Chains A and B, each alone.
Chain A
Amino acid sequence: MTIFAGTAGPGCTISNLVTSEAKVSGLCTAKGSLSIPVEYRSIAPVLILGVAALVLLVLSATLPKRRYPGLWAGLTALAGIATTVDGIVQWANLDNPANTALTVGGQVLYDHFSAFFAILFGCATTLGAAISDSYLSREALDGPEPYVLMLACSAGAVLMAEAAGLITLFLGLEVLSISLYTMTAYHRRRAASGEAGLKYFILGSFSSAVFIYGAALVYGATGSTQYFEIFQFLTGTVVVHDGVLLAGMALLVAGLGFKVAAVPFHFWAPDVYQGAPTPFVGYMAAVAKAAGFAGLLRALMLALPTQVSSWRPAIWVLAVASVLVGSVMALVQADLKRLLAYSSISQAGYVLIGLQAGTQAGWSAASFYLFTYLFMVVGTFAVVGLTQGRGEVRNDLGSIRGLGQRNPWLAGGMLVLLLAQAGVPLTSGFLGKWLVISAVIGKGQYELALIGMVGAAIAAFAYLRVALLMYVPAAPTPARPGQPRGEGGGEPAVAPTGPGAPSGLAEVAGDLEALATAGLGATATAVALRAPSTARLRVPRATAAAIAVCVAFTVFAGVSTPVLSLAHSIGLTWSL
């Protein structure tokens, strides 16, 4: 059983990694001199993001006190781009397998997986800064602080992806989480934001405590918190009384399950998504999920692959519950942000499906899924942030009604992102779902593949409801579903499938409306039908660019293979 298969170069076998460098974690050599081998290019992404956060803080303290529109977001985006570029350089550097290393006192892994996630978090920081700028100035919240938190959060996320042990993973997790608690509570004048921050903080700290207790129990059972040492112990020893180890693994999975919002650890997600500032929600949904899964993938596949028969059933249950509960609950939500929260719970279920396969295919499918989901979710929340209006007055489904008239380009982009999340072919969402489902079919788990497809079909209805509402005319007065209306049907936003006459168009609009609100309760229907203003929606330039990038990537990754082969070659480094 090898961990680094296909990389026959020196320094890449697990025994080399453990004996030559991990044992140095005692820090002192025989002569008593302190020497820790540090591969600086391995921690370059963390350094870039951390230094950028400090630079922002210093600048904000030294520059004269006035507004600098775009400066903070620009610097943050620059740091994000630098991280992405550094990730790509790392990737190229790692094509020579001899460069794969366990470094910084055995605490950091330098491999394709780290580089892949550095690219991911770099993109997330850039896009997150781009969509936050206009929101923060609209809400009169602008300043360097949210960007400092965003950079710190990304640094923690990168650290989680490259951690080589549970303690480093815990540190990354906490840097990420503490930044996110503050970002969630950042909208001072909106009570819902503070409430969301408080809920996230209490439940997040609780889950962190659960996670670290799990790490303590695994440490007690195996004698180490380092992945490779745990792995070595478990391959060399048959654990007879494995109660402590099993409890530790269960608590680890539960703690990280909270972070990625997997059912039944999802209760915080809808409230936090609803209350937090909208662009931060997009960033959080992408980064917290990707980082949590990166940690979970590493811990389960590197440290505990020998216990796969113990953790696979647990992940199976989490995956099925997340897919089904997330999809079904998304159907009955009248609040757009809550709907997207449940949808992201169901998306987490698909990553879990890939993870529980426990194979190379599942590993690369999960990575690909996380990477493409980043662009979908950031773009979607950027659009929601625009339609909700100043002060986040409208988050209900009706706020997106008539978007096809108000701004056809924005509606078109949103349509692509929604279809991608629903898993429609020619988008990256389809490819991601196809990869995870083929990974479990490769393991012969047809029942799980079936559940995944049923869940996707259920969730598709929730996405199509939003998509339909975008093209229902934003009539000034709500009409009862199904009843033809006198006005509002004349605009060409409705698909030209009606009988042809203007009254026919109005009927189509009514039918569309009835379809879009089917299954919602009476009050929810009334809310969903409340029309927003019909004025043309202006899109700030940075946000428009970010949404365009998200849409373009979603289509690009769905019809071509570069990202797929990138994700696939992560899988090639690992085998079980």
Chain B
Amino acid sequence: MTVPGPWYLVLAACLFGIGGAGVLVRRNILVMYMCIELMLNGVNLTFVTFSRMLDDLGGQASVFFVLVVAAAEVVVGLGIIVAIYRRRTGATADDVSSLKG
């Protein structure tokens, strides 16, 4: 039995949606960050599925770029998070709220 392509697309859209909702709803910065990674993985699955459906290698090549970018973002993002939480105790986004107006 083969799984039809659109199912993968729906799965990818669900991953992307769950990730997006997580960024907006969750308040732990590390979890928010993981949700962004989930969104990027939804994108990767979309690329691979379309690549297969269109019989074109471009989409699979694109996935590598997305992966590399995600890795670079992790490095910088965790650096910023660590730099901030040297002076704080927990990783809750609501505590970081001195900028408003």
Interface residues of A (CB under 8 A from B): 25, 167, 170-171, 174, 178, 181-182, 185, 188, 191-192, 194-199, 201-202, 205-206, 208-210, 212-213, 215-217, 219-220, 223-225, 270-271, 274-275, 333-335, 338
Pair B96/A198 contact, Cβ less than 8 Å: yes
Closest chain B residue to A204, Cβ basis? B73
Pair A219/B36 contact, Cβ less than 8 Å: no
Pair A195/B99 contact, Cβ less than 8 Å: yes
A178 to B53, CA, bound (A): 33
Q: How close is A525's CB to chain B, nearest CB, in angstroms? A: 15
A112 to B59, CA, bound (A): 29
Known: A185-B83, A209-B43, A216-B43. A223 touches B54 (CB 8 A): yes
Q: Which of A167, A212, A224 has the most CB of B within 10 A?
A: A212
Pair B58/A270 contact, Cβ less than 8 Å: no
Pair A198/B101 contact, Cβ less than 8 Å: no
Q: How close is B42's CB to chain A, nearest CB, in angstroms? A: 7
Pair A192/B80 contact, Cβ less than 8 Å: no
Pair A220/B65 contact, Cβ less than 8 Å: no
Given contacts A197-B84, A209-B40, A213-B42, 9 further A-B contacts (CB under 8 A): A174-B72, A194-B83, A198-B81, A198-B84, A202-B93, A209-B19, A216-B59, A220-B54, A223-B56
Q: How close is A254's CB to chain B, nearest CB, in angstroms? A: 11
A474 to B68, CA, bound (A): 53
19 A–B contacts from the bound complex (CB under 8 Å):
A167-B61, A178-B72, A178-B76, A188-B83, A195-B97, A195-B99, A197-B83, A197-B84, A198-B84, A202-B23, A206-B36, A208-B73, A209-B40, A213-B46, A216-B47, A219-B50, A220-B46, A220-B53, A225-B58
Closest chain B residue to A275, Cβ basis? B99
Select which of A167, A195, A209, A215 is within 8 A of B96 by beta carbon: A195
CB neighbours (8 Å) of B99 from chain A are: 192, 195-196, 199, 270-271, 274-275
Pair B50/A181 contact, Cβ less than 8 Å: no
CB neighbours (8 Å) of A167 from chain B are: 61-62, 65
Main secondary structure on chain B at its contact with chain A? helix
Pair A202/B36 contact, Cβ less than 8 Å: yes
CB neighbours (8 Å) of A271 from chain B are: 99-100
Q: How close is A273's CB to chain B, nearest CB, in angstroms? A: 10
Closest chain B residue to A203, Cβ basis? B23
A415 to B65, CA, bound (A): 46
Closest chain A residue to B13, Cβ basis? A213
CB neighbours (8 Å) of B36 from chain A are: 202, 205-206, 209
Q: How close is B92's CB to chain A, nearest CB, in angstroms? A: 12
Pair A201/B77 contact, Cβ less than 8 Å: yes
Known: A171-B65, A217-B46, A275-B99. A209 touches B39 (CB 8 A): yes
A209 to B61, CA, bound (A): 17
Count of chain B residues with Cβ under 8 Å from any Cβ of A? 44
Per-residue 0/1 for B23-63: is the Cβ within 8 Å of any A Cβ (1 yes, 0 no)?
A: 10000010011001001101100110110011010110110
Pair B50/A220 contact, Cβ less than 8 Å: yes
Pair B76/A182 contact, Cβ less than 8 Å: yes
CB neighbours (8 Å) of A223 from chain B are: 54, 56
Known: A170-B65, A171-B65, A209-B40. A219 touches B80 (CB 8 A): no
Select which of A178, A220, A334 is within 8 A of B73 by beta carbon: A178
CB neighbours (8 Å) of B97 from chain A are: 195
A71 to B32, CA, bound (A): 40
CB neighbours (8 Å) of B23 from chain A are: 202, 206
Select which of B40, B47, B77, B79 is within 8 A of A219 by beta carbon: B47
A217 to B54, CA, bound (A): 12
A225 to B66, CA, bound (A): 14
User: Does B98 touch A at the CB level, under 8 Å?
Assistant: yes
Q: Which of A25, A191, A205 has the most CB of B within 10 A?
A: A205
A202 to B77, CA, bound (A): 8
Pair B101/A171 contact, Cβ less than 8 Å: no
Pair B46/A191 contact, Cβ less than 8 Å: no
Q: How close is B64's CB to chain A, nearest CB, in angstroms? A: 10
CB neighbours (8 Å) of A170 from chain B are: 65-66, 69
Q: How close is B69's CB to chain A, nearest CB, in angstroms? A: 5
- List the 4 closest pairs (A to B, CB-CB), nearest first: A220-B50, A209-B39, A216-B46, A271-B99
Select which of A199, A213, A219 is within 8 A of B59 by beta carbon: A219
CB neighbours (8 Å) of B101 from chain A are: 270, 274, 333-335, 338
Pair B96/A174 contact, Cβ less than 8 Å: no
Closest chain B residue to A212, Cβ basis? B43
Q: How close is A197's CB to chain B, nearest CB, in angstroms? A: 5
CB neighbours (8 Å) of B20 from chain A are: 206, 209-210
A544 to B58, CA, bound (A): 50
A556 to B45, CA, bound (A): 52
Q: How close is B40's CB to chain A, nearest CB, in angstroms? A: 5
Closest chain A residue to B76, Cβ basis? A178
CB neighbours (8 Å) of B79 from chain A are: 182
Pair A212/B58 contact, Cβ less than 8 Å: no
A558 to B99, CA, bound (A): 36
A198 to B76, CA, bound (A): 10
Pair A185/B53 contact, Cβ less than 8 Å: no
A46 to B53, CA, bound (A): 35
CB neighbours (8 Å) of A174 from chain B are: 69, 72-73
Q: How close is A492's CB to chain B, nearest CB, in angstroms? A: 35
Pair B80/A182 contact, Cβ less than 8 Å: yes
Q: How close is B100's CB to chain A, nearest CB, in angstroms? A: 7
Closest chain B residue to A197, Cβ basis? B80
Closest chain B residue to A26, Cβ basis? B57
Select which of A205, A216, A334 is within 8 A of B77 by beta carbon: A205
A213 to B43, CA, bound (A): 5
CB neighbours (8 Å) of A213 from chain B are: 16, 39, 42-43, 46
Q: How close is A21's CB to chain B, nearest CB, in angstroms? A: 15
CB neighbours (8 Å) of B96 from chain A are: 195, 198-199
Pair A181/B47 contact, Cβ less than 8 Å: no
Q: How close is A402's CB to chain B, nearest CB, in angstroms? A: 23
Closest chain B residue to A214, Cβ basis? B43
